[in-house]
Structure formats: C-alpha cells, structure tokens
Structure 1
Amino acid sequence: MRSTHHAPSRNASLRAIPVLGLLAALLLSVGGPLAPRATAADTTARAVRIMPLGDSITGSPGCWRAVLWNRLQSTGYTDIDLVGTLSHQGCGQAHDGDNEGHGGERVTDVADQNLLPARLAATLPDIVVMHFGTNDVWSDIAPDRILAAYSRLVEQMRASNPDMKILVARLIPMNPGSCTACAQRVVDFNARIPDWAGATSTDRSPVAVVDQWTGFSTATDTYDGVHPNASGDDKIAARWYPALTALLDGGTPGDPGDPGDPGGGQPSCSASFRAPSVWQGGYQGEVTVTNTSASPVAGWTVTVVPADGARLTQLWGGTLTTAADGTATVTNATWNGTLAPGASTTFGFIASTPATAGTPSATVNCTARAASS
C-alpha cells in the first residue's frame, strides 16, 4: 500500500499523550503534499482522492478508468479513491467507477456556468486527471477561449485545495465523419497546451501535461473516430499511469509542459492522408506531417503507399523518390523540415490511377530527424 499515512488509533493516542499533545499530533499529521485534509468529523487519514474530469471520453463509459484502476490496484496503489458526482457507467470489469466525466459537456460551458466548484466541494479531490475539450474543439471554439476555461478551472481547483495536483492531457486525436476539420483542430489545440501548463503550474500546485495524442489512432483505437474502444482504453490508461504514480509516490510526473512522450525526448512525427480532389484516372493527394513529440523536428521522411495501383506523378512541398512497386518516399523541402512540438506542415501530389480504382486511399508513415548536435 503506498502514498498514504495512517494515524495512530484514538485509544492508543490518548494513553500516550495528554489532550494538548494529541491536538498537536493531529495537526502535524496533516502535513505533506498529498496528506488528507481533516475536518471536524474526520480526524483519521483517508485515501488519496483522484478525480477523473472531462466529457464522454472520460465518463460515457470511459472504460480507461477501469483499466487504470485495476492496474493501480495490482501494482500496490490500493489506498486511493476515485471520486466524482457520477458513478459507474458500464465497463465489464469491477472498479471504482466514481468520476466527473459528463457526456457532451464543453469545458468552456463548465467554466462559464461555474459548475465545477460544487462538484469539488462534494468530492474533495487531491489530484485531478483531466481530458477535457473535445466537444469545444468539435464546436470550433478558439484555443484561446478553451485555455482560458482551463485556467478558470485550475483557479477553482486551487480554491478547493491549495495543494491540488493536476494532470492535463493532450487530447486524443479526433476524426469524425461529420467534421473533416476536427483532426487538424486537435493538433492545433494540443500544440498550445504545454506553454499554458508551464505558465500555470506552481511548486505547490503543479500542472503536468500527459501526452494522450502520440501513438493513438482514430482508425484502430476508436469505434467512431472520437471515442476509445478497448485498444484505446488501454493506451489512455497506460499514459496516465506513470504520471499518476509519480504523484502518488511523492514525486512529479515531469517538468510542466512535458508531454511525456515515450522515446527519451527523441523527435517523432505522424502523417495523415486525404484526397481533396478526384477525377477519372487520378486524384490530388495531400499529406499532413505533425511533430508529435516534445522535441523539435529538424527534418522528416514520409513513405506513401497508394492503394489500387495508384502512382505518384507530381509532388510539391518535398522531394520524391518512387520505388518499382509504387511506394513513394518523400523528404522535406528546405522550408518545411523544421517543426516545433505540435506544429504541422503539408505536402501535395498528383496520382494516376487505373480505371478500376476505388476511393483514393494511401498508407502513410513518418520518421523524424533531430537537429545535429
């Protein structure tokens, strides 16, 4: 059992010290960054309270919480309590289902309508684990306004508990069929989170960023382009776990704004394909390259494997090499190879297709290069 401290029993304490000494001992037992806060009705230590905060990705049913809970339990973190005004919402495994994941909610509405303080007062969390803003991004709300809502919520968390520890996610990717612009909006918003966290974090109440975006695929890790399936739940829980256990162990999950990428700070990138224009015998393709790491990318290479026998015939925004089997290798141009964390660039091409080809598609993969030391 980890991360909590148990006070002596009442009878033992009364035998050992006089009344004034007992009061002093109780006051001292409240110290430490995650020590339970005593009330008039509660003079014993309690489990560390963790609030999962967000929208349907967190709460409807938000089965990553079940995966995370059971992993924590199985690795010895048993004196914890997931808290929230909502309870179990499904999932096929036993777990502490309390949460604050309200389906359909926008973080800007929660801030504007002052909804969080009552939820905090009812649950008294020590740690908040927040994946919030997907509905705002979908609604095309400006990143500045979403981040202002984040700041308002952090103020309210600290009013509830000046020692609040806060983990904030870079949102998982989103690619719903009804919102073609959403994928890029998530990238643009995520790019702003590390700087916001660095400016908001304090020694007493740290804000750390947990990268839920990198390595998460809307094709394989969601069932609708937005909400995680079982694979996605596993990935989300795996990203929260080290950051959360660092707090439970009395440490920190990394510097404020560190997205927590795997790979020891090495740059990484992702690539996504779309076909904005199609005609008989060919189409125009576009590939977006995104720096998915916390390190600058000094250059990138993308492989493009077009489906149905298509061949790239023209390219702009990069340098093209084509193999005999039609696989295309594209390296950056001189002007678009350097990408800051979260930043994106695009290159385009023309592809020729056989008459029998179906809807344009291509498999794309990206590798990144670090700056020379």
Structure 2
Amino acid sequence: MSKRSALVAALLLVLGLLVARPAEAAAVRIMPLGDSITGSPGCWRALLWNKLQNGGFTGIDMVGTLPAQGCGVPYDGDNEGHGGYLVTNVADQNQLPAWLSATRPDIVMMHFGTNDVWSNKPTATILAAYGKLVDQMRASNPTMKILVAQIIPMNPGTCPECAQRAVALNNAIPGWAASKTTAASPIVVVDQWTGFSTSTDTYDGVHPNDSGNQKMADKWYPALSALLGGAQPSPSPNTSPSTSPSPSPTPSPSPSPGSAGCTATYTITNQWGGGFQGEVTVKNTGAAPTRGWTVTWTFAGGQQVTQAWGGTATQSGAKVTVKNESWNGSLGAGASVTFGFIASWNGSNPAPVPACAAA
C-alpha cells in the first residue's frame, strides 16, 4: 500500500470513529444569582459543588459572568453573585438578560434581596422585581427551573429593623411563588431561614461564616438534586419565619410503611394564610432499582393541590395521586427523590400519611 493510500485509510478510520462515537449528554447549566452572600466569596457554593459531585451529580456546570473567589477547595465557582447589588436595581436596569445570554443556564438558584431589605425597599417592590427577573429567565429559556430562597436572617448593628423586614419578605415569598410557578418552569422555594442563627452562623449579622455556609449548602442540596433527578437525603422539616404562631403547626415528617419497595415521607416546608408548600421524599427500600413509583394520600382538612413539580399530580376529592416524571422514576437501591407541591388549606392543615407503590 502506498503512503498516500495508508494516510487516506487512517483518515477514514478516524472519521469513522468520530461518527460512531455516541454524543455525550450536555451538562446541566446552573446559575447562582444574588449579592455578596452568593458571590463574595459565597463559599457555600464550594461546599454545594463538592456535595453534588460526591452525590454523583457530575454532569453539571456552574455558570456566571463572575469567577470563583477562593474558598480553599477546588470547585466550579462561576457565579452571578454581585456584592452590594439590590434585586430591585437589577430588575429596573435590566441587567439580568445580558448575564443570561452570556451563560445560558438551565437552572437558576437565587438568594437575592438582603440589600433591598437593608435599604427598606417594600416587600411588594422586591417581589415585583423577582417577578420581572423570572419573566426574563423564561424569555431566555421557556423551561427554566428556578430555585428561590427565603433569605437567611439578618441583624446588622446599623439596622435594628432589618430582622423583621426579612421576616416580612420571607413570609411573602411562598405565596408569590405559588402565583408565578408554571408546569414548564416551576419555582421551588428553598427555606434558608429555618435553623440559621445570625449570632452563630454569620460573622457580622449578615454574611455567613463557615457554619452558615455549611447550612446554606445543606439547604440548597435537596432542592437542586431533586431538579437534577437523582438521589438526595431527606430534607429537614422547615417552618415559617413568622414571629407569630402559624395557623397550624408544621409537623415533622413521618415515614409511611410504604409498599412494593418504597416509602414516602411528607413534609410541610412552609405555610401561610390559605396556602402551604409541601414536599414528599420517595425512597427505594428494595434491593433492585425501581422503574417507577406512585404516591397516594388522603387530605383530611379540605386541602387542594394547585401546583406540583418533580411528579405528575392528580386529585379526586380528598385523594391525591402523584406519579413519577419520565426522568425520576428509576431509583437505585436506597436512593431517594423529592417532589414538591403548592396547596390550599382552610381552617386546619393536618399532615396525611402517604403510601408508596414501586414498579
């Protein structure tokens, strides 16, 4: 064979291998969005990144126009955490579309509004800014998945009123999210308030220290991993940041006996006048992977599910049935997945005990 023929044969072989190679799945692009709590340096992102990697979520790409700022461990630190920024200014000045265009996220995780609270922006104004940013996210990606945090507590020495203003904002977020969420682009509320102490988890009454960063990472992880469609630990029960008693106390989750190799754990993560947000964690208790799962429960207080994500929900009378989505029905032995929902309640909100059936 001549040298030319050998070269042609080698090139054809290489081309054949390239054509035959299966396409790799695109990484899920995740944008952390917020102010200095997110970006300066926002070391909860480093902890979250490594927690996701250790949990098997390796097909992800953190995106943003800002780079990592240290934190002492290797991690994907791209972010959109702008120190000193107000969410109301970002909305008014239309800054987000350029960031979205540059990074093309599939998921946005937003902890934003601390500086607005500090600046005494009305809660309604902050929520209007949230709404505008969500509209811009959906204009960039109609199926954008959005995690919105109830912000961590704040108690700066120069703003004694800030603590209660943060409570007012956090109490309003679930209702706003319920009115804004859609099936194609769900908004999931992540409670970063509960269990967070400004005296032990911040270094200045506002910004998280090492223990605060760990708590934030631990709160983001279940919500984010549920969107990514894989296993995660059961979330801790969360309560409303309201300083007055809730209409009905949030019960601690109780695992049901389940059936056919799975259990379901029901948790009320937030409650407000006339509505609440819940989560159910499905765990495979069998030795073989599941092909799918179905969770059922019966409400005893006239509650009605109005929105759901991470599962397809139907309700007939008081009975609710939730089936897995196409992407989260397969659970390995011992693995779990969480779906969420928004529901209404009137008078009382007792927690049902769900049953789980696995295929």
Q: Same fold (TM over 0.5)?
A: yes
**Is 1:262 the counterpart of 2:236 in the alignment?**
yes
Query: What do residues 54-111 of structure 1 show as CA deviations (whole Å, max 9, x unaligned)?
Result: 0000000000000000000111111110000000112111111100000000000000
- Identify if the C-alpha distance between structure 1 residues 12 and 170 changes in structure 2 by more than 3 Å, giving closer, same or farther: same
Are 1:141 and 2:121 counterparts? Answer: yes
Distance 1:252 1:142 in 2: 36
Partner residue, 1:154: 134
Q: Residue in 1 aligned with 2:3?
A: none
- Residue 244 and residue 98 in structure 1: after superposition, are their counterparts in 2 closer, same or farther (change >3 A)? same
Counterpart of 1:178 (choices 158, 174, 179) is 158
Counterpart in 2 of 1:220? Answer: 200
| Residues in 1 aligned to 2:176 and 2:120: alpha-carbon distance in whole angstroms | 19
Tell me how far 1:341 sits from its aligned partner.
Answer: 3.9
Q: Which residue of 2 aligns with 1:206?
A: 186
CA–CA distance in structure 2, aligned partners of residues 183 and 372 of structure 1: 28
Query: Contact 2:221–2:232 at 8 Å: present in 1 too?
Result: no
Secondary structure of 2:190's match? strand
Displacement, 1:297? Answer: 3.7
SS at match of 2:208: coil
1:101 equivalenced with 2:53 (yes/no): no
Offset from partner CA, 1:99-134 (integer Å, 9 cap, x none): 000000000000000000000000000000000000
Distance 1:14 1:51, change over 3 A: same
- Do the aligned partners of residues 251 and 122 (structure 1) sit closer, same or farther apart at CA in structure 2, a change above 3 Å counting? farther
Correspondence list, 1:312-323, <5 A: none
TM-score, normalising length: structure 1: 0.60
Q: Give the 3-state SS of the residue equivalent to 1:66 in structure 2.
A: helix
Higher Cα radius of gyration: 1
Q: Does the residue aligned with 1:176 lie in a helix, a strand or coil? A: coil
The one-letter amino acid of 1:241's match is Y
Name the SS for the 1:192 alignment partner: helix
1:87 equivalent among 39, 43, 67: 67
Cα distance in 2 between the residues matched to 1:10 and 1:195: 55
- Report how many residues are paired: 246
Taking structure 1 as reference, are residues 158 and 214 closer, same or farther at Cα in structure 2, changes over 3 Å only?
A: same
Aligned partner of 1:296: which letter? S
- With over 3 angstroms needed to count, the CA separation of the structure-2 counterparts of 1:139 and 1:297, relative to structure 1, is same
Q: CA deviation at 1:252?
A: 12
Query: Contact 1:143–1:189 (CA<8 Å) still a contact in 2?
Result: yes
Once residues 150 and 203 of structure 2 are traced to their aligned partners in structure 1, the CA distance between those partners, rounded to angstroms, is: 20
Q: Which amino acid aligns with 1:90?
A: G
- Whole-angstrom CA distance in 2 between matches of 1:10 and 1:68: 40
Is 1:238–2:218 an aligned residue pair?
A: yes
Provide closer, same or farther for how the CA distance between residues 77 and 112 of structure 1 changes in structure 2, counting only shifts above 3 A.
same
Amino acid at match of 1:262: S
Distance 2:136 2:179 in 1: 17
TM-score when normalising by structure 2: 0.62
Distance 1:222 1:116 in 2: 28
- Which amino acid counterpart does residue 46 of structure 2 have in structure 1? A
1: distance between equivalents of 2:136 and 2:84?
Answer: 21
Change (3 A) 1:44 1:240: same
CA separation of 1:297/1:211 partners in 2, compared to 1, >3 Å: closer, same or farther? same
Question: Are 2:46 and 2:75, in contact at CA under 8 Å, matched by a contact in 1?
Answer: yes
Offset at residue 45 of structure 1 (A) = 3.5
Residues 25-44 of structure 1 aligned to structure 2 (within 5 Å) = none
Identity rate of aligned residues, in percent? 62
What is the correspondence of 1:1-373 to structure 2 with a 5 Å cutoff? 11=16, 14=19, 45-249=25-229, 262-263=236-237, 289-291=243-245, 296-297=248-249, 341=272
Shift, 1:136, TM fit: 0.3
